[in-house]
Amino acid sequence: MKVYIETDRLLLRDIEESDAAGIFALDSDPEVHQYLGNHPITSMQQAEEMICLIRQQYVDKGVGRWAVIDKASNEFVGWSGLKYELNLRKEFSYFDLGFRLRPKYWGQGIATESARESLKFGFTKMNLTQICAAADIANFASNAVLKKVGLQFKEVFQYEEIPVNWYVLNREDWLKHVSRTP
């Protein structure tokens, strides 16, 4: 298991096969999937397949979503981090910032904390020049987190007939943002 980021309360590490129960708890929850097309998973096999896909991203692209672990309880909170996205915007590929947490952890600043650390990793360790993100326009919480960590709204696009906000953050703007953020 590789730990990429450790904060006072969180570990961000590779998603492992042993995270299947946590992935299932996360992605079988209809509330979690409200702004993700309403397609929650229904079996442990689907959770295991998702883990295989994420782990293959580590091999193919050198990055993929990370498990977010509560250090105090060692509980699987959800996932966060970067991935190389090829499918959401058909006209181009990009490094995507994303996060998905179990509802009991919503509203605790975990999405913001893990997103900030993921951006820092992307710009400083991976030497990326740009990171992007997308969020359903109705998902006020995710849109707020993306703005809070410095991503800049660029446009609305349609994905599977759903309007989605598109955000971009260049390294130079990230450096300005972190210099203003306590």
Banded model confidence at residue 87, pLDDT cuts 50, 70, 90: confident
* pLDDT score of 177: 87
Q: What is the per-residue pLDDT across 134-182, written as a single tens digit (0 to 9) for each?
A: 999 999 999 999 999 999 999 999 988 899 999 999 999 999 988 877 6
Q: How many domains does the chain have?
A: 1
Q: How far apart are CA 114 and CA 116, in angstroms?
A: 5
Q: How far apart are CA 93 and CA 85, in angstroms?
A: 6
Helix 140-148 and helix 110-120, axial crossing angle in degrees, nearest 10: 40
Q: How far apart are CA 64 and CA 57, in angstroms?
A: 5
pTM of the entire predicted model: 0.94
For residue 18, the enclosing domain spans 3-180
3 state SS of 53:
helix
10-14 and 66-70 beta bridge pairing: antiparallel
The whole-number average pLDDT for the span 100-121 is 97
Whether 45 shows a pLDDT value over 70: the answer reads: yes
Nearest residue to 32 via CA among 117, 84, 83, 105 = 105
Whether 31 shows a pLDDT value over 90: the answer reads: yes
CATH assignment of the domain containing 138: 3.40.630.30
For the chain, what percent of residues have pLDDT higher than 90? 84
The whole-number average pLDDT for the span 63-68 is 96
* pLDDT score of 2: 84
Give me Rg for the CA atoms of the chain: 15
